[in-house]
Amino acid sequence: MMRKLLVFIFLAVIAVALVATVLEMPPIGDPMNITNNEVPQRYLEDSLQETGALNVIASIITDYRAFDTLGEATVLFVAIAAAISNLKAH
């Protein structure tokens, strides 16, 4: 009973924190949002000249942020290596 009450209080604190965070978030689609800075503007305006790719998303994930994608591929590689080494072990 005591444990359930503690869990309930803990979850309530987390819920209050999450709801407070959501209420503080900027409205969706507002042009004055801080995320609408020069970075996406540069991607949209200059990516064709700088990378030669029509697909802006491809130019972001495999050129501007290719290092991030390399990390993503590494995660995939390590995951499959761990899975195979576990499956082949027995």
Partner 1 sequence: MEDIIVRYVTRIILPFVQLYGLYVVLHGHLSPGGGFSGGAIIGASMILYALAFNLSAGSKKLSHDVSSALESGGALLFAGMGIFAILLGTNFLGNKVAGIPIGTPGNLFSSGAIMIITFGVGVKVASTMITLFYSLIEGEDHSHDHD
Name which of 13 and 57 has its Cβ closer to partner 1. Answer: 57
Residue 78 has a CB neighbour count (10 Å cut-off) of 10
Q: Which residues bind partner 1 (CB under 8 A)?
A: 48, 50-55, 57-59, 61-63, 66-67, 69-70, 73-74, 76-77, 80, 83-84, 87-88, 90
We find the least distance from the C-beta atom of residue 28 to partner 1, in angstroms, to be 22
We find the least distance from the C-beta atom of residue 15 to partner 1, in angstroms, to be 34
Half-sphere exposure of 71 (CA within 13 A, CB side): 5
Name which of 9 and 83 has its Cβ closer to partner 1. Answer: 83
